[in-house]
Amino acid sequence: MRKAFVLLLPALLSAQGSLVPLSHGPWHPVIWRDSAGVPHVYGETDVEVAYGLGWVQAADVGRWLQESLLAARGWLSRVLGKEGLLWDFLRVWTGTDTIPVRPLFTEQGWQILEAFAQGVNAYFHQHPAEQLQKDLFPTTAEDIARGSLLILQAMTGLGNLLPFLDKPELTEIGALSEGYGSNAWAIAPSRTYDGSTYLLINSHQPLEGRLAWYEAEICSREGWHFRGGFFPGSPVPHLGANPALGWAHTMAYPQYRDVFRLTVRGRRYLVKDSTATWWEPFRTRKVTLHLRGLPFPIRRRVYATRFGPALRRKGAWFAITPWQPDTLHPLQAWYLLSKARNLHAFLQVLKIGALPAFYTVYADEEGHIGFFCTHYLPRRDTTLTWSVPLPQPDVRYLARERVPFAELPHVIDPPCGYVYNANQSPLSVTCPEANPRPAHPLPGLQRFTYNRAERLKELWTHYADRPLTMHDLISIKHDRCYAQEGSYRRVFEPLFTLNAERYPHLSEPIRALQRWQGCAQPEDTLTALVMLTHHHLEKLTGLRFAAMMILGLQPTESECVKALGQAVRTLKRAYGTLYPRWEMVLRHGRGGIEVGLGGAPEVLEARHLSWNAKRHRFLVKGGDGLTYFIRWHQDRQTLYVLQPYGAVHRPDSPHYTSFIHDFARRAYRETHLTTAPIAP
């Protein structure tokens, strides 16, 4: 049967896509590209599919995949230089290089990783010129497992704690994690015009690199059938849908870790409990780093304590409590989730507690919707006073276990028919009467909410008096406005209330700021002035735009005046006016194709901006990327897909830039899951 399957289909499909049967030892997967270039990998078994997925990822995102593998080995700085140095250091400092990863997988799960690694090896064996480091191959299942854990170390709080260790904002930053953000919601049949169930998946990641989404569909005769987003180097999907259900993740921002300020004497640090004080020696390891361009290695020591890994910043010592998987590896959990076919099976996997850093929004073909807290949270003693950092290295503050899944906030099938998350508190994710109310205090649980969720709350109220259509949901998703009442207006009030009479040299731009309606439409002529001012405020304050809103840290009047003056000079020099259309300033593209966009940071149509001083343009580097609307209606599932560039991330591919214009027009592609290589 397999031989006929492989030989007959190319003739049938030659006009609509390309089909490539692979053969390696016992595995013969089939890779078919649809007319949009999206790969569909078919096989008899899950393991065979994983082999084909490894091959096609190596072909489509080979450089980014190799960067993930290099980070797993501690070799990323060999290729990326300083950009990779921190990752190579973190690998050893967090102990990720010594975590026993094999026990965190079932036998089947480990075979998935091994087959994926062999698919990667087979591709690069046939294409040696594409290898970044010859000694990276053959790669192994352990590399795949360890590379994933290293990324999750940054997602579980380290990304923001480390930069703030020598800043006063540390006392407020404990709830933040390095991550962009996301939008997700699920709408029940009771809330829609035609009785459909909808799921929005809108994760905000970098648009390129090893943290960008790679889209594929996988299908085996053992029932592993899924379409969604993969990180380069991952053998399992992280979000998307199978025929029966789907889920989205958003970044969660609890206080994953505790920070202890240490008292150090020589090579020892102070430890105390309720009755005694004593000194303990640091545990030390040596790390050798090879930085690209340096003819000699960099040698450092890493320090560990009973409180976690330690480091010194500007003369002060800190220890940060570790995160390590203690049940299943997250990759194993995602594999099991992708094979679940109903809410009960899905919940059985979530209850294990293997996912460390996310909120999960769920919908299925039966009309169930849900929101789930799926992140690590230490069980903290509620009789103690918690702060960041903790001023004393007291062992009573060491959490001995995690808060179990059952005690975290969840919502299933609320009566109002919707759940949503835009990185806000898990205590405000649906209509007020249905929001979760934990039975016990949960120190460290995320409590803050900021612009995108505030704006969504406004929009749900706006549509409260009628059923929702697909057009409504797309309009909500692509809303470009800041909340009329919320953190954005509160934090940047000093900017929008500047006195034009007090600063006559800036009177015109100050009045322009006050005329701005708070919406970043492509044709708007005031948004460029506002966004350039925000850009200069970030440089002056040393704080990211989102962090200022989350922390409630207002810029000073003098900072606003200085930033506005810099924005005015830039616009006049580059455009000869204060009022260029926003789409002329905000640009998106690659491979010689570029378009203007609307949207802005922290609105629902999110853009993460990078100012290009030579071109005097904002370039889109992250935010809205791979986006799905999943619809179940009358026993039929439909996927509506938006991608920022193209399905293949190599410049010589015809699918490298094929979606750019559709992305600017917000033109979703309609498609379906396929059980054989036929055009959707």
Confidence at 358, pLDDT banded by 50, 70, 90:
very high
Q: pLDDT, tens digit, for every residue of 78-135?
A: 999 988 988 999 999 999 999 999 999 999 999 999 999 999 999 999 999 999 999 9
For the residues 205-223, what does the mean pLDDT come to? 95
Confidence at 180, pLDDT banded by 50, 70, 90:
low
Q: CA–CA distance from 411 to each of 256, 435, 476 (Å)? A: 22, 7, 22
pTM, rounded to two decimals: 0.94
> What is the average pLDDT score of the chain?
92
3-class DSSP state of 562: helix
CATH architecture assigned to 2-169: Orthogonal Bundle (1.10)
The token pair at 497 is 């209330």
Strand order, beta sheet including 245-251: 18-21, 30-33, 39-43, 214-220, 225-230, 239-241, 245-251, 357-364, 369-375, 410-412
**Which residues are CB-neighbours of 467 under 8 A, at least 6 positions away?**
191, 192, 193
pLDDT surpasses 90 at 146? yes
Residue 293 CA to residue 442 CA, distance in Å, equals 48
Q: Pseudo-torsion of CA 647, 649, 653, 655, nearest 10°?
A: 20
Q: Report yes or no: 271 and 277 within 8 Å, Cβ to Cβ.
A: yes
Which of 72-76, 174-178, 202-206, 275-279 shows the lowest per-residue confidence on average (mean pLDDT)? 174-178
pLDDT surpasses 50 at 42? yes
Q: pLDDT, tens digit, for every residue of 634-657?
A: 999 999 999 999 999 999 999 999
pLDDT at 233: 97
pLDDT at 675: 78
Residue 240 CA to residue 496 CA, distance in Å, equals 40
Q: pLDDT, tens digit, for every residue of 531-544?
A: 999 999 999 998 88
Confidence at 16, pLDDT banded by 50, 70, 90:
very low
pLDDT surpasses 80 at 499? yes
Confidence at 164, pLDDT banded by 50, 70, 90:
low
Residue 321 CA to residue 378 CA, distance in Å, equals 10
pLDDT surpasses 80 at 9? no
Q: Report yes or no: 321 and 254 within 8 Å, Cβ to Cβ.
A: no
Which sequence spans correspond to the domains of the chain? 2-169, 259-320
pLDDT at 3: 36
Between strands 259-262 and 627-633, the pairing is: unpaired
For the residues 48-70, what does the mean pLDDT come to? 97
Q: What is the CATH number of domain 259-320?
A: 2.30.120.10
pLDDT surpasses 80 at 5? no
The token pair at 31 is 């890779």
pLDDT surpasses 90 at 186? yes
Residue 484 CA to residue 126 CA, distance in Å, equals 57
